């Protein structure tokens, strides 16, 4: 995939093992200039270390997606540095840890529901709304989802609802942003051991089930997701928008 001369903003890098970090590497390897964001000072040094290993990752900036002012500040920073942009990757999701185990109805709270949907779904729209006028024609926006959006996954709970909202968000955003020739897609990735996944109770059990029942009889890697992201962000995918693409070794098609 040729991403040469493309400018890509990757939002939500949490660690070197995150899917977002793998996406940044794939984009950089394919010639894109990279800007990375981090949520808070605790994560800053991790993101700086990732950037050091990417030849085209010269821009790093903080952005807490729960704060509209920080999204505005991020846009100002990007415009000052680049004037415009081609690709935005949204790799952010959050729900209170106590909601990600046990019985869904017993554990759900109004505040936890609001937080999960705000960070995991609404923030993608918020970024699009703020950046819409500086994304170049034939631009691309990507986000990351999971099978829990459409099937009940043990302990995924409220995050499943938030991801279902995110996937609907992708469809509506695709029609809205399509007026400017900007494509919007999601990748539904199979389970990968990341910092975010560590918050889901019984995650190793999920990995084992996918390993046994997926069509390819294995789990996927962050690099496989990143390569799909690079394709979707490239001109090779110019006719694809409003889609959720599964990168899960075929697990989403398996029966009981």
Active site residues: 146, 156
Contacts of 161 (CB under 8 A, 6+ apart): 113, 116, 117
**Cα separation of 6 and 232, whole Å?**
13
List, in sequence order, every beta strand (DSSP E) within 12-134.
33-38, 59-62, 85-90
**Cα separation of 133 and 87, whole Å?**
13
For 233, phi then psi, to 5°, come to: -85, -15
**Cα separation of 123 and 68, whole Å?**
9
Do the Cβ atoms of 174 and 121 come closer than 8 Å? Answer: no
Q: How many CA atoms lie within 13 A of 228 on its CB side?
A: 23
């Amino acid at each position: 995939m040729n991403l040469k001369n493309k400018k890509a903003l990757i939002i939500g890098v949490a660690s070197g093992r995150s899917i977002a970090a793998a996406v940044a590497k794939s984009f950089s390897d394919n010639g894109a200039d990279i800007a990375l964001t981090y949520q808070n000072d605790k994560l800053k040094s991790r993101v700086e270390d990732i950037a050091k290993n990417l030849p085209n990752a010269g821009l790093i900036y903080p952005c807490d997606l729960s704060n509209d002012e920080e999204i505005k500040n991020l846009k100002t920073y990007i415009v000052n540095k680049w004037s415009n942009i081609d690709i935005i990757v949204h790799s952010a999701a959050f729900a209170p840890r106590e909601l990600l185990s046990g019985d869904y109805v017993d554990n759900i709270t109004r505040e936890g529901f609001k937080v999960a949907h705000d960070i995991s779904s609404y923030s993608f729209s918020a970024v699009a709304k703020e950046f819409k006028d500086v994304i170049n024609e034939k631009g691309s926006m990507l986000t990351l989802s999971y099978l829990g959006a459409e099937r009940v996954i043990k302990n995924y709970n409220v995050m499943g609802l938030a991801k279902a909202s995110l996937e609907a968000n992708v469809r509506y955003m695709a029609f809205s942003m399509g007026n400017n020739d900007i494509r919007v897609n999601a990748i539904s990735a199979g389970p990968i051991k990341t910092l975010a996944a560590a918050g889901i109770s019984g995650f190793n059990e999920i990995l084992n089930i996918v390993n046994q029942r997926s069509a390819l009889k294995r789990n996927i890697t962050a690099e496989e997701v990143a390569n799909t992201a690079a394709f979707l962000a490239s001109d090779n995918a110019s006719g694809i928008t409003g889609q959720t693409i599964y990168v899960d070794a075929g697990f989403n098609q398996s029966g009981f």
